[in-house]
Amino acid sequence: MNCIFCKIIAGEIPANLLVDNNDLVAFPDLNPQAPTHILIVPKRHVENAAELAEVQPSALAELFKAAKKLSVDLNLPGYRTVFNTGEAAGQSVFNAHLHLLGGRAFGWPPG
């Protein structure tokens, strides 16, 4: 399978893993959009968040629990979590991943 996130999870591509547990890994986004921009990736390969909700809803919850823990560890007063689903919404890696962004003010609506 030619999935960059699965290769990171398998250790075939090096990454700075901030979290590595049974359900997920987390590592900094290589193209950060905020001072803190972390990708939280389920170890089970699914295309997007909705598919993860279908096949392993507990793993979806674990992504948000990891986001909260990281925000506490990094002293973020607030944070934004984003799932992009589909190319039209900006998804570029088709392995579900939750973006955790923090460290700056965020506008609404998001761009």
> Does position 53 bind Zn ion by CB under 5 A?
no
Among residues 34, 109, 13, the alpha carbon closest in space to that of 78 is found at 34
State yes or no: is 97 an active-site residue. yes
Site for Zn ion in 82-111 (CB under 5 A): 95
Q: Given candidates 45, 48, 74, 103, which one binds Zn ion under the rule CB under 5 A?
A: 45
Write the CB contacts of 66 (distance below 8 Å, at least 6 apart in sequence): 19, 21, 24, 26, 40
- Counting residues that bind Zn ion (by CB under 5 A) gives 5
What kind and span of H or E run contains 67?
helix 57-73
Catalytic one of 37, 45, 97, 99: 97
Least distance CB 94 / Zn ion (angstroms): 8
Locate tokens 């700056």: which residue?
104
What kind and span of H or E run contains 74?
none
Least distance CB 46 / Zn ion (angstroms): 8
- By CB under 5 A, name the binding residues for Zn ion: 3, 5-6, 45, 95
